[in-house]
């Protein structure tokens, strides 16, 4: 004859040793179960490890159970409640899942099996959603990366571009030329370079002419100045000659 009470007590002792702080006995009035038997609560957490090594708990639930008289030959009484981030609809889905698994594991201690199943369900339901958000963020980041488009640069494409650029530059220079130059017959027309250089020479001539006018106005080099300089030079020369003729006579005496 099976001793159900002993088997149940052995399972409770094993759960306490394995789950430790996550396992506790609660009052039957808190369990939500229609029973006066001993009721127990196990905290089930969907743990997720972040890139920096820290662990977050996106969802937590309480798995509540009570042994029936002939457990494990009949399923236990089960209930689930949200401790963090789980909707009522998700709780109903999980409860139905656990009850189905309990029916499939009759004849053996099954509470720890049900706890493991609840953890897997939480991980699939919530950690995958988080992974999906991260995947969407990574996909958006890839879309933001600018991929260069266009034809690769080769010698041929560069030469083609340079010819087109020089043609456009010549057109812009032509726009700057006076209409009188553009109307000149072809054989008399100046090239863009000739026209540019002629403009520079004309500007240089104008500047030289202005400098000459300023010099004339200021009378920097007057004829009187040149005459004064010649008289000074003559006086200086005669003085030197006089000194040189005097020194030999002194030496002779």
d(CA 35, CA 66): 8
Q: What is the pLDDT of residue 131?
A: 46
Beta bridge partners of 26: 39
pLDDT in tens, 10-41: 999 999 999 999 999 999 999 999 999 999 99
d(CA 219, CA 221): 6
Q: Summarize the confidence of residues 80-103 as an average pLDDT.
A: 93
Q: Which of 47-51, 58-62, 124-128, 195-199 has the highest mean pLDDT?
A: 58-62
d(CA 23, CA 65): 11
The answer to which of 25-29, 42-46, 70-74 has the lowest mean pLDDT is 42-46
Helix locations, the chain, DSSP H: 4-19, 28-31, 88-104, 111-122, 128-144, 155-176, 179-183, 192-218, 223-252
Give the model's confidence band at 130: pLDDT under 50 very low, under 70 low, under 90 confident, else very high.
Answer: very low
The answer to which of 77-86, 88-97, 223-232 has the lowest mean pLDDT is 223-232
Q: At what angle do helices 155-176 and 192-218 cross, to 10 degrees?
A: 50
Whether pLDDT at 124 is above 70: yes
Q: What is the pLDDT of residue 33?
A: 94
d(CA 102, CA 176): 93
d(CA 86, CA 43): 13
If you search the block for the tokens 């937590």, which residue do you land on? 60
Give the model's confidence band at 44: pLDDT under 50 very low, under 70 low, under 90 confident, else very high.
Answer: very high
Verdict on whether the full-model pTM lies above 0.75: no
Q: What is 4-47+58-128's CATH number? A: 3.10.110.10
d(CA 97, CA 117): 9
pLDDT in tens, 142-201: 666 555 556 667 777 778 877 887 887 777 766 665 565 555 555 555 565 565 555 555
Q: What is the pLDDT of residue 104?
A: 94
């Amino acid at each position: 004859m099976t001793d159900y009470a002993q088997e149940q007590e052995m399972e409770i002792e094993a759960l306490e040793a394995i789950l430790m702080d996550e396992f506790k006995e609660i009052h039957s009035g808190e369990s939500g179960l229609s029973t006066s038997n001993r009721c127990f609560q196990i905290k089930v957490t969907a743990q997720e490890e972040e890139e920096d090594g820290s662990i977050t708990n996106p969802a937590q639930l309480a798995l509540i159970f009570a042994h029936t008289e002939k457990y494990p030959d009949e399923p236990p009484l089960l209930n689930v409640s949200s401790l963090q981030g789980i909707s009522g609809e998700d709780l109903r889905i999980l409860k139905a899942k656990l009850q189905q698994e309990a029916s499939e594991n009759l004849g053996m201690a099954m509470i720890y099996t049900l706890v493991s199943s609840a953890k897997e369900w939480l991980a699939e339901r919530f950690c995958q959603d988080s992974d999906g958000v991260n995947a969407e963020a990574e996909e958006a980041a890839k879309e933001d990366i600018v991929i260069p488009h266009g034809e690769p640069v080769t010698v041929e494409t560069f030469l083609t571009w340079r010819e087109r650029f020089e043609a456009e530059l010549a057109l812009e220079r032509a726009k700057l030329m006076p209409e009188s130059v553009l109307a000149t017959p072809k054989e008399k027309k100046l090239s863009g370079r000739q026209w540019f250089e002629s403009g520079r020479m004309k500007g240089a001539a104008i500047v030289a002419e202005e400098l000459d006018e300023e010099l004339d106005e200021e009378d920097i080099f007057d004829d009187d100045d040149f005459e004064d300089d010649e008289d000074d030079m003559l006086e200086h020369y005669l003085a030197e000659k006089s000194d040189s003729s005097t020194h030999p006579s002194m030496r002779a005496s």
